[in-house]
Amino acid sequence: NAGVMQNPRHLVRRRGQEARLRCSPMKGHSHVYWYRQLPEEGLKFMVYLQKENIIDESGMPKERFSAEFPKEGPSILRIQQVVRGDSAAYFCASSPDRGNSPLHFGNGTRLTVT
C-alpha cells in the first residue's frame, strides 16, 4: 500500500509566479491536511479537506493561497504570485474516515522562491 505521495519533491519559482503542489492520499483515505514548515520552525496547519469540501481553512493565509481536493485526482495546494517568504516545506497528510485513525504524512514539497 503506497504511502502519501507528494510531487514535486522540489520546486523552484521566481517571485510573482504560481506554485502548484500535488498530494495523492493513501488508498482509501478521504481526508487531506496541508501543513507548512518554514526553515528552522515548527509544522503549522494550513487547511483540512474532505473530497470536494474544505472543512477547516483556519491556517491558510487569506490571500494568494487556495486548496482543492476534487472528486477525482490529487489534492492541490496553489500559491499565486509567490514571494520569498513562501519558501518552505509543504507537507500533506491523509487519514481514513474512521475513528481516531492517525494522519499519515508525505515527504513534502520544498518550495524555493528566488
Partner 1 sequence: DAKTTQPTSMDCAEGRAANLPCNHSTISGNEYVYWYRQIHSQGPQYIIHGLKNNETNEMASLIITEDRKSSTLILPHATLRDTAVYYCIVRVARNTPLVFGKGTRLSVIA
User: Can residue 52 be called a binding residue for partner 1 (CB under 8 A)?
Assistant: no
**Do the Cβ atoms of 111 and 88 come closer than 8 Å?**
yes
Helix (H), strand (E) counts: the chain: 0, 11
User: In the bound complex, what is the minimum distance in angstroms from residue 81's beta carbon to partner 1?
Assistant: 26
**Do the Cβ atoms of 93 and 104 come closer than 8 Å?**
yes
Residues across the chain: 114
User: Can residue 65 be called a binding residue for partner 1 (CB under 8 A)?
Assistant: no
User: In the bound complex, what is the minimum distance in angstroms from residue 101's beta carbon to partner 1?
Assistant: 8
Task: Summarize as ranges the residues that interact with partner 1 (CB under 8 A).
Answer: 4, 31, 33, 35, 42-45, 48, 50, 55-56, 59, 89, 91, 93, 95, 97-108, 110
